[in-house]
Structure 1
């Protein structure tokens, strides 16, 4: 395989500059301040710091990640007293965590095997914040916020931004981590590095990811299943739905273990199970569905749209979820949203034959529930 353009970006011009820190949490803090209608001076007065400190936090010049934990808790309590919505406070916490992960990736002196990306299985709340500087999509709590009471003066960034060099370094490090992480003990690091590598827009990304799949030699069922799911998910994100369809047909249909792992994965990803997992083993858990499913149904229904890259997987996952949680059809806003979405989707000409059959089966189950 030819050398990746990413492999020539570092190590050729001497010591790399120290990576910036706190860019995500700084931007979230700025959003919080602006949503509350405070100037930097007013926020500084409430938090009992200087205006220069506020400016430093928001630009990353004085990263929030460098604030001692005890002092950060004091600031959090004062932000609560200022009326900050809990969802934004939680977004700030995830942003601080994402900044620590981002800084570790950008630090070329951190050995791949020591990357904190391999320490725990990421959930959506953290992953969305971490990839925000990569894809420009704000995390859920920051989407569709009302315009701040005081409009910004002059041009300003619409989100946290990495420089071109930092983006290159990030994806170089992710590829390096994926290539060096081998064996079952480092599979989580490899899987999550591959996931993040999928946000790279370089022309060779799809070929590199396909090569990584071919070179993986899973030594157990779950590792092989996750490897296939990861590659299918990245391919779908790049517009290739055929690989996702193949994954559904070969790793989910008529495979109880695959269906169980898929639903456990989704439930953990969207935070229906709050316990943090340190390995992927929980996905193969045979305990009868230790989560209610309401939040999962809501999430999956939102992804049942013709333009959604994961639409086939979302439809199949809803169909599979209702097999084990049929009671979800009898109450709740998610069930009503599903009812409303069905006619639109069934009129779509872009559905696969399998997805259409599954939606028709769901419609029939809804009629039975309403009888």
Structure 2
């Protein structure tokens, strides 16, 4: 994840966590200076043209990962036709196995959320994750690998469905997901659902004072928000109740 965050910085303007944790410089720079790496409009245009080209040309099961990553990065394009282009690309995808279909659904939901469409993410949670043990396990394995719960590199996406990462702890993942408890964030419903799912399979995490402190700080803010679905509210209340049980 640190490398991914660094690469995404000039695209989304969000500094990596390791950078945000640094103390402010003792002396400010003289004159105007950017707060992070920036791309010119021409550089951004060239980058996203290349991503679109890569996505359109990456066909076939052996190039699915390349296509998925190119589509993911294309979702950061601010061009007016981005949503339409992405929708067309994702309608053209016809996965032939469970894992590929699952990853495609997740990618579609993630890109849609970044473009301001929350309905697709809600559909993904309600239809592809909830009440599906394999889907829930795949979601947590995907997150765990992405945030660095394991340092063992994987050469394909197969680990997401085969349970090979079942020994990861979960503390780093919980902290990452709770940090995403931001009412207006497009991913917030997925973060909430993933925390709810995580504490069910890793209840020991609620014995960590740091983890509980972070949850206690965010739960009231989230429950007071008018942005959340009823499902998300129920899951937050369930997590709050689980904290009480763990402390009893």
* Interval containing the TM-score (normalised by the shorter chain): over 0.9
Stretches of 4+ moved more than 3 A in 1?
Answer: 144-147
Decide which of 130, 140, 150 is 1:253's aligned counterpart. 130
In structure 2, the partner of 1:295 is: 172
Cα shift readout 1:268-290 (whole Å, capped 9, x = no counterpart): 11111111222111110234722
Matches within 5 A, 1:138-217: 138-143=15-20, 145-217=22-94
In structure 2, the partner of 1:218 is: 95
CA distance in 1, matches of 2:27, 2:223: 45
In structure 1, the partner of 2:200 is: 323
Equivalenced residues, count: 248
CA distance in 1, matches of 2:130, 2:229: 15
Decide which of 223, 233, 238 is 1:361's aligned counterpart. 238
CA distance in 2, matches of 1:355, 1:260: 19
In structure 2, the partner of 1:340 is: 217
8 Å CA contact 2:159–2:165 kept in 1: the answer is no
CA distance in 1, matches of 2:232, 2:198: 14
Matches within 5 A, 1:1-371: 124-143=1-20, 145-287=22-164, 289-371=166-248
Deviation at 1:216, TM superposition (A): 0.3
- Tell me the TM-score normalized by structure 1: 0.64
Worse-matched range after superposition: 169-178 or 347-356: 347-356
8 Å CA contact 2:129–2:136 kept in 1: the answer is yes
Q: Which runs of 5+ in 1 are unaligned?
A: 1-123
Worse-matched range after superposition: 351-360 or 154-163: 154-163
Cα shift readout 1:325-371 (whole Å, capped 9, x = no counterpart): 11111123012211332222222222101001111111221222122
CA distance in 2, matches of 1:351, 1:136: 25
8 Å CA contact 2:184–2:227 kept in 1: the answer is no
The RMSD of aligned alpha carbons is 1.5
Deviation at 1:144, TM superposition (A): 5.7
Pair 1:345–1:136, CA change in 2 (3 A):
closer
Q: Which runs of 5+ in 2 are unaligned?
A: none
